[in-house]
């Protein structure tokens, strides 16, 4: 037990059972802690398992195994209390189009049993710059406004932890920075923020800590500063068929190259050296390649480079 933790997850797994297809292991033994008061980024490509993780927290999906604690409260044995500590903004922008933002927030407050005099509907709408739209039909709202309305809805019961699944999906660029400001303001008021995204630069901008998942597995978790510097390192190991390879082209680049028999190890910073140029030089060495690997943590560097574009 640690009073500094907003969320503690131990050995969390999720299998989606299928009658027709093979079962899908969407979360594979994830252990993760999220500090109270932080802005935490859960990063990973499409299909990594981000929404599955969020949906389990939101009780929209059932875990297969593992343990979750929300501010030290057991998410299984004390689910109602645990849920009350979280406000979750789902990835899909589904809003009942025939209610106004004001009504939607009032209904949500009713669901949480918040008495009329304790409701903060206008205050919340104002915080998310929706006060002008309080009485407008939800169907007339833009994508960005809908996103903010969903955030407002998640804030109704004043949760300690606000969780946003892909908050910038469907939000235009101008509104994005506005959304970020709102999220930062909430964080300054002491709320823990968890966001998922498949864009590294988005997580970088906002988060103190980042976890990266891929195919249901946790592949990195560190401070944003460490993640960034750690990602700016790439190691490529190439096994050639013989030792007649010519890698003089690589000497033009700022990198560290070690040659041992038929194996070459190349270390470089992707921020300084272009991956494709290195790859071309390796390929045009005049010798057949037996095997090539990008070592361990560097795999996600490749995936991040790809997903950033």
Report the residue number, 38 or 52, with the smaller CB distance to Mg ion. Answer: 52
Binding site partner of 66, from Mg ion, ligand ADP, none, Cβ cut-off 5-8 A by kind: none
What is the nearest approach in angstroms of ligand ADP to the Cβ of residue 166? Answer: 7
The whole-angstrom separation of Cα 251 and Cα 264 is: 13
300 with 219: CB under 8 angstroms? yes
Query: Contact between 26 and ligand ADP (CB under 6 A)?
Result: yes
The dihedral through the CA atoms of 44, 45, 46, 48 has a sign that is: negative
The whole-angstrom separation of Cα 167 and Cα 128 is: 13
Query: Contact between 51 and Mg ion (CB under 5 A)?
Result: yes
The whole-angstrom separation of Cα 167 and Cα 157 is: 20
The interface mask with ligand ADP, positions 36-75, x = CB under 6 A, is --------x-xxxxxxx-----------------------
The whole-angstrom separation of Cα 275 and Cα 266 is: 11
Binding site partner of 100, from ligand ADP, Mg ion, none, Cβ cut-off 5-8 A by kind: none
Contacts (CB under 5 A) with Mg ion, residues 88-117: 91
What is the nearest approach in angstroms of Mg ion to the Cβ of residue 121? Answer: 29
Query: Contact between 214 and ligand ADP (CB under 6 A)?
Result: no
CA 1 to mean position of chain CA atoms: 25
Query: Contact between 24 and ligand ADP (CB under 6 A)?
Result: yes
154 with 89: CB under 8 angstroms? yes
3-state secondary structure of 223: strand
Using CB under 6 A as the binding criterion, the count of chain residues that bind ligand ADP stands at 11
DSSP state of 112: T
What is the nearest approach in angstroms of ligand ADP to the Cβ of residue 210? Answer: 14
- 224 vs 36, 58, 192, 216, CA distance in Å? 16, 25, 16, 21
The whole-angstrom separation of Cα 5 and Cα 57 is: 15
3-state secondary structure of 199: coil
Report the residue number, 50 or 191, with the smaller CB distance to ligand ADP. Answer: 50
115 with 125: CB under 8 angstroms? no
Report the residue number, 44 or 167, with the smaller CB distance to ligand ADP. Answer: 44
The interface mask with Mg ion, positions 17-46, x = CB under 5 A, is ------------------------------
Query: Contact between 55 and Mg ion (CB under 5 A)?
Result: no
Binding site partner of 184, from ligand ADP, Mg ion, none, Cβ cut-off 5-8 A by kind: none
Residue 229 has a CB neighbour count (10 Å cut-off) of 13
Report the residue number, 47 or 270, with the smaller CB distance to ligand ADP. Answer: 47
Which residues contribute to the site for Mg ion (CB under 5 A)? 50-51, 91
Which residues contribute to the site for ligand ADP (CB under 6 A)? 16, 24, 26, 44, 46-52
């Amino acid at each position: 037990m640690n009073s500094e933790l907003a969320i503690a997850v131990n050995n969390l797994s999720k299998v989606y059972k299928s009658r027709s297809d093979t079962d899908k292991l969407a979360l594979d033994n994830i252990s993760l802690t999220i500090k109270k008061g932080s802005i935490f980024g859960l990063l990973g490509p499409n299909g990594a398992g981000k929404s599955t993780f969020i949906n389990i927290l939101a009780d929209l999906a059932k875990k297969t195994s593992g343990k979750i604690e929300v501010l030290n409260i057991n998410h299984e044995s004390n689910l109602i209390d645990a849920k009350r500590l979280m406000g979750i903004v789902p990835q899909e922008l589904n809003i009942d189009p025939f209610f106004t933002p004001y009504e939607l927030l009032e209904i949500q407050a009713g669901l949480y049993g918040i008495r009329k005099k304790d409701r903060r509907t206008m205050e919340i709408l104002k915080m998310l710059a929706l006060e002008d739209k309080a009485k407008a039909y939800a169907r007339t709202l833009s994508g960005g406004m809908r996103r903010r309305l969903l955030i407002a809805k998640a804030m109704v019961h004043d949760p300690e932890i606000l969780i946003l699944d892909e908050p910038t999906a469907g939000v235009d660029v101008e509104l994005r920075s506005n959304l970020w400001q709102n999220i930062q303001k909430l964080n300054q008021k002491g709320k823990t923020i968890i966001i998922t995204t498949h864009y590294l630069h988005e997580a970088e901008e906002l988060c103190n800590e980042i976890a990266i998942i891929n195919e249901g597995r946790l592949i990195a978790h560190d401070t944003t500063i460490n993640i960034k510097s750690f990602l700016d390192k790439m190691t490529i190991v190439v096994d050639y068929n013989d030792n007649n390879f010519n890698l003089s082209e690589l000497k033009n680049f700022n990198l560290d190259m070690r040659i041992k028999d038929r194996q070459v190890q190349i270390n470089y910073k992707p921020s300084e050296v272009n991956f494709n140029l290195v790859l071309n030089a390796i390929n045009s060495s005049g010798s057949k390649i037996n095997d090539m690997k990008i070592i361990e943590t560097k795999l996600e560097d490749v995936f991040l480079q790809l997903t950033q574009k």
